[in-house]
Structure 1
Amino acid sequence: MPSGTTDRLRASGGPSEHLLLLLNDHRVMTTDQLARATATPARTVLYRLEQLRTAGLVDYDRPGRQRGSAPHHWRLRPAGARLVTGTSPADGRRPSALFSAHAATITEVWLAVREHGPAAGLTLTGWATDRAGWQEWDGPTSRWGGTSVKRLTPDAVYEAVLADGRAVAAFIEVDLASMTQTQLRAKLDRYRAYARDEAWRGRFPHCPPLLLLTTTAHRAVTFTRNAARHLGETSSAPTYGRRLVDDFDLIAAHGRLVVAAAGCVRDPARAVTEHAWTLTDPEAPEVTLTAICTERATTAAAAGPAYQRQEAEAERLQRDEVLRRIRVNPRPLLPLLGPAAVDLVSYLLDTRHDPADAFTPRLDADATLDTLAQWWRRTPRSGVDTPALGATLTRLHHQGWSHQVRQLARLAATGEDRPAWYAAAAHLARRSLLTPAEHHRLHDARSRDAAQAQVWSYWQPPGHRDEATPVTYPQWRDQQVTAEWTHLSWWQRQRTDPTALAAAFDTEHLTACARCALTIPATDTGDCPGCHHTQRLPHEQRHTVTPLTDLVAALLADATGHPYQA
């Protein structure tokens, strides 16, 4: 075997190496196809091929005949494959006539889309045949666990860009009338599984359509009609004559398998330039390859925002579910983030917020909760982001707490003294935020006189129930004190002050709220109706309750001079 040609190819490459690379990519090519692919005269190409054949790098066959004008079908030999790839995928055996004719036809389709595609608005950017174009993916998980590896083996994978720069792709199948409709249907099942499993995602801009090139128009129509029945479709292109309604339609159309066939496999240039493609919709006219690719690109462009909205909605649902679990049970956050952060989170997750309420702090709740949800979903959580998040939430808690303290101070500065404001001051003194329900009621809280009137409205003196005219506490007290005074002797009346009797009567029958000093009958064992406090003081000690102005002044000093630390 001469080695000079091989040595020169290893050293400098050149046109002969280009021929070897083309044969490696396309498996089988005729002399004319190699001449067109390299833009070189056929005689020059044939001379180089004969040199390569003499060197044992290539060989040829003439499918169906060995004499006459049948074209040479060139292929790599193992030595040629090793030279260009370093391996030897070629086994050196003479291929069958059907294989050579089929491979050469696929090559002719490649030349047709390369030569005539730009004029039709399709510029070839990628072409993969044989194993280079095979698609493998993991199928759905079975009920016993694990996944199954599936494989799709198109004759060629075609990639191009439209005139407007949009990328498109398609699967090419070449049928030389050697496959039955049953075999074609089995092939269609694999494409259907490929589309159903969305195996094209991340690899192609859309689900590539299945384009079958066959021998006759009748055979193409038969295939598309059988495909329509097999797929259960009424239309091969969802955007033809039907308006897409919502994101679900757009996404379904983007991932839908489009099937078309053309009966001009002997003249693939027609399939590129003419209205030669039959769709699965029997009422649809024949369309061009450009129209099919344009429809796919348009569907992909329309589905892009739909995917974004779908992903955003899925992210929102996951976020809401995380926040819902935190709202139901925030205790797991306590050892990680601290009490102030947990109090802030509980406040932000409350659904009764009113942005118009002056007590509502501006804390950018959405961004804060997004950060919290992302942190909670992250596994494992690093030792850096958790302290940082806790510090941020603590700072925001102090900001919101200080805001509510200042708002309560503005209310107290009006000079009014409402029992509900005492409850708010006590709540804030515990370093806790007022809930939306609590601070919503502060502006319309009852005055002290109104709260005291409510206390007496539900009070009835013993022995005076069911009377048409209710007796007030002062009237009842005066009656009881008068009766007691009457029963005193003259000497006792001279030494007893009726006012002292009334004060003693009040001490026996009245108490005071330990928080707001509201007067409450001793027989009333419920919470204070003004501030809902449970503790009571003797009536004569009501003056020892800390005034509201002093409570608010202490809160203001704490808010301005001592930021809260978790």
Structure 2
Amino acid sequence: MPALPRPATGPGSRYTARAATTRTRPTPARAKPDIVALARRLTARDLWLTALIHEHRVLTAQQITRLAFTSTRSAQRRLRTLHHYGVLDSFRPLTVSGSAPEHYTLGPAGAQLLAAQAARDMTDTLWRPTSTGRIAYSPWLGHDTGVNELLTHLAAHTRHHPHTRLPLWLSENSCARRWGDIIRPDAYAHWTETTPHGERLLPFFLEYDTGSQTLARVEAKLPGYAAFTTATGTAPALLIHTRTASRELALRRRLTDPARDLGLRLATASLDQTTDTPHARWWMPLEPTAGRLTLTGLAVRWHPLTPATGLEATDADTPLTLPVPPLPPAPHTAP
């Protein structure tokens, strides 16, 4: 089956960046950032957000708002301040119709702050003056923001429902550092929910499918996940999120027999269904007579699932490579 055409907007679309940076800073901020002076101006939430954007490369204003702020106005005000200080950079991509949200990336002062906190050289952050432009013009921008959209909705849900948690969320780059010789998922996360029968844990790898790859190429990823399970003795779930219900149906027809033969615990969902509630009853296991389940329902159906190995910190890790909590430190006081 040929790859699906790219949509005009949304996850999977090919954005055209309006500019690498859309808002100029006052002249003093263009000079070398004074991170010592910034120390008294930044909150714990600011530092957390800087690390989170470094981990996940790019987050939209809406994604940041749902994770860390109580209103759009307070988020916009603080993001403008962080951009003014050079902690964050931003751009707004062009779309075929309408307008895209502001996208935030790591800025020069943010990179220096992270390097100083980790007692490392700034080069270890992998930040370059061209970083924002490269992200803005990347053909994978829609894919990356789509992955982050899904996970930020999960994390935001836990802000208002304390019986649920997203204690771990690893980016594609973090996954590659840990398991890149076997698998390269788009994300890895732990979803937990406390029920009357105890806490249920769903450790899962995420493949975010935009339709740009053929069905055969998606199928070719499955043996790697089976090999990971065999080599490590762990059993995380594999979730494949597609752009449309028709793409999901095509994937299910293609992957059902291989997933069964490989012993994979695999479920699918699509953007047509999950919208802003990916925790809800939208996930369908690749199993006979299976219906749509919540994430917690998957954990119950597939019990016991075990987290992936390689999550523990090693001597090779630095503060720049350790996982960043999906939610800001609490309590925090907005400036």
Displacement of 1:54: 3.6
Displacement of 1:78: 4.8
User: Are the structure 2 counterparts of residues 280 and 67 from structure 1 closer, same or farther at C-alpha, using a change threshold of 3 Å?
Assistant: closer
Give the TM-score, by structure 1 length: 0.42
Separation in 2, partners of 1:104, 1:78: 22
Match of 1:44 among 63, 67, 74: 74
Q: Check the 8 A contact 1:9/1:16 in 2, yes or no.
A: no
Q: Deviations over 1:272-319 (max 9, x none)?
A: 112x2222225322222211122233466xxxxxxxxxxxxxxxxxxx
1:290 and 2:305 are equivalent in the alignment: no
Which residue number corresponds to residue 191 of structure 1?
225
Which residue number corresponds to residue 30 of structure 1?
60
In structure 1, stretches of 5+ residues that fail to align are 138-148, 237-255, 301-566
One-letter amino acid matched to 1:70: A
Which residue number corresponds to residue 269 of structure 2?
262
Which residue number corresponds to residue 186 of structure 2?
155
Q: Deviations over 1:331-376 (max 9, x none)?
A: xxxxxxxxxxxxxxxxxxxxxxxxxxxxxxxxxxxxxxxxxxxxxx
Across the two proteins, how many residue pairs are aligned to each other? 261
Displacement of 1:11: 4.7
Separation in 1, partners of 2:239, 2:53: 24
1:107 and 2:148 are equivalent in the alignment: yes
Separation in 1, partners of 2:192, 2:149: 20
1:123 and 2:153 are equivalent in the alignment: no
Displacement of 1:76: 1.0
Which residue number corresponds to residue 355 of structure 1?
none
Separation in 2, partners of 1:191, 1:120: 32
Which residue number corresponds to residue 143 of structure 1?
none
Displacement of 1:263: 0.9
Q: Check the 8 A contact 1:62/1:72 in 2, yes or no.
A: yes
Alignment map for 1:465-504 (pairs within 5 Å): none
Match of 2:251 among 223, 228, 239: 223
Q: Check the 8 A contact 1:121/1:290 in 2, yes or no.
A: no
User: Are the structure 2 counterparts of residues 269 and 221 from structure 1 closer, same or farther at C-alpha, using a change threshold of 3 Å?
Assistant: same
Q: Check the 8 A contact 2:189/2:203 in 1, yes or no.
A: yes
Alignment map for 1:357-376 (pairs within 5 Å): none
User: Are the structure 2 counterparts of residues 89 and 299 from structure 1 closer, same or farther at C-alpha, using a change threshold of 3 Å?
Assistant: closer
1:16 and 2:56 are equivalent in the alignment: no
Alignment map for 1:74-473 (pairs within 5 Å): 74-85=104-115, 86=120, 87-91=124-128, 92-93=130-131, 94=133, 95=135, 96-116=137-157, 122-134=164-176, 136=178, 150-163=181-194, 164-197=198-231, 199=232, 201=233, 206-233=234-261, 256-264=263-271, 267-274=274-281, 276-298=282-304
Q: Check the 8 A contact 2:200/2:296 in 1, yes or no.
A: no
Which residue number corresponds to residue 558 of structure 1?
none
Displacement of 1:69: 3.0
SS state at 1:134 partner = helix
Displacement of 1:232: 4.8
Separation in 2, partners of 1:75, 1:155: 18
Separation in 1, partners of 2:157, 2:253: 29
Q: Deviations over 1:411-454 (max 9, x none)?
A: xxxxxxxxxxxxxxxxxxxxxxxxxxxxxxxxxxxxxxxxxxxx
SS state at 2:279 partner = helix
User: Are the structure 2 counterparts of residues 223 and 68 from structure 1 closer, same or farther at C-alpha, using a change threshold of 3 Å?
Assistant: closer
Say which structure is richer in helix.
1
Q: Deviations over 1:382-425 (max 9, x none)?
A: xxxxxxxxxxxxxxxxxxxxxxxxxxxxxxxxxxxxxxxxxxxx
User: Are the structure 2 counterparts of residues 277 and 167 from structure 1 closer, same or farther at C-alpha, using a change threshold of 3 Å?
Assistant: closer
CA RMSD, 1 decimal: 3.1
User: Are the structure 2 counterparts of residues 35 and 116 from structure 1 closer, same or farther at C-alpha, using a change threshold of 3 Å?
Assistant: closer
User: Are the structure 2 counterparts of residues 16 and 265 from structure 1 closer, same or farther at C-alpha, using a change threshold of 3 Å?
Assistant: farther
Q: Check the 8 A contact 2:175/2:187 in 1, yes or no.
A: yes
SS state at 2:207 partner = strand
Which residue number corresponds to residue 8 of structure 2?
none
Displacement of 1:180: 1.8
One-letter amino acid matched to 2:287: D
User: Are the structure 2 counterparts of residues 260 and 69 from structure 1 closer, same or farther at C-alpha, using a change threshold of 3 Å?
Assistant: same
One-letter amino acid matched to 2:143: H
SS state at 1:24 partner = helix
Q: State which structure, 1 or 2, has the greater radius of gyration over its C-alpha atoms.
A: 1
One-letter amino acid matched to 2:214: T
Q: Check the 8 A contact 1:260/1:279 in 2, yes or no.
A: yes
User: Are the structure 2 counterparts of residues 77 and 99 from structure 1 closer, same or farther at C-alpha, using a change threshold of 3 Å?
Assistant: farther
Which residue number corresponds to residue 560 of structure 1?
none
One-letter amino acid matched to 1:269: D
Q: Check the 8 A contact 1:73/1:100 in 2, yes or no.
A: no
User: Are the structure 2 counterparts of residues 40 and 9 from structure 1 closer, same or farther at C-alpha, using a change threshold of 3 Å?
Assistant: farther
One-letter amino acid matched to 1:36: R
Separation in 2, partners of 1:67, 1:273: 30
Separation in 1, partners of 2:208, 2:251: 13
User: Are the structure 2 counterparts of residues 211 and 265 from structure 1 closer, same or farther at C-alpha, using a change threshold of 3 Å?
Assistant: farther
Separation in 1, partners of 2:70, 2:277: 24
Q: Which has the higher contact order (CA 8 A, sep 6+)?
A: 2
One-letter amino acid matched to 2:172: D
Q: Check the 8 A contact 1:24/1:76 in 2, yes or no.
A: yes
Q: Check the 8 A contact 1:225/1:282 in 2, yes or no.
A: no
Separation in 1, partners of 2:221, 2:38: 41
SS state at 1:270 partner = coil
Separation in 2, partners of 1:89, 1:38: 25
Say which structure is richer in strand.
2
Percent of counterpart pairs with the same letter?
A: 25
